[in-house]
Amino acid sequence: MLTAYDYPTAKVLDEAGIPLILVGDSLGNVVLGYDSTVYVTMDDMIHHCRAVTRGVRNALVIGDMPFMSYQANVSDALRNAGRFLQEGGCQAVKIEGGEHMAETAHRMVQVGIPVMGHIGLTPQSVNALGGYKVQGRTLETARQLVRGAAALEQAGCFSIVLEMVPVPLARLITEKVGVPTIGIGAGPFCDGQVQVVSDMLGLFTDFVPKHTKQYTHLAQAIRAAVGDYAREVREGQFPTEAHSFGMKEEVIEELKGEL
H or E element, residue 93: strand 92-94
Q: For residues 72 and 66, is the Cβ–Cβ distance under 8 A?
A: no
239 prior amide bond cis, ω within 30: yes
C-alpha to C-alpha distance for 63 and 57, rounded to whole angstroms? 16
Which string of b and e fits 42-75 if b means at least 16 CB within 10 Å? bebbbebbebbbebbeebbbbbbbbbebbbeeee
| Residue 115, helix vs strand vs coil | strand
Neighbouring C-beta atoms of residue 194, cutoff 10 Å = 25
**Cα–Cα distance for residue pair 149/132, rounded to 1 Å:** 20
CB 220 within 8 A of CB 205: no
Residue 99 falls in the annotated catalytic set: no
Q: From the candidates 103, 140, 163, 250, which is the catalytic residue?
A: 163
Residue 187, Cβ density class (10 Å: 0-12 exposed, 13-18 middle, ≥19 buried): middle
CA distances from 183 to 74, 89, 90, 191 (A): 27, 25, 21, 8
The residues assigned a catalytic role are 163
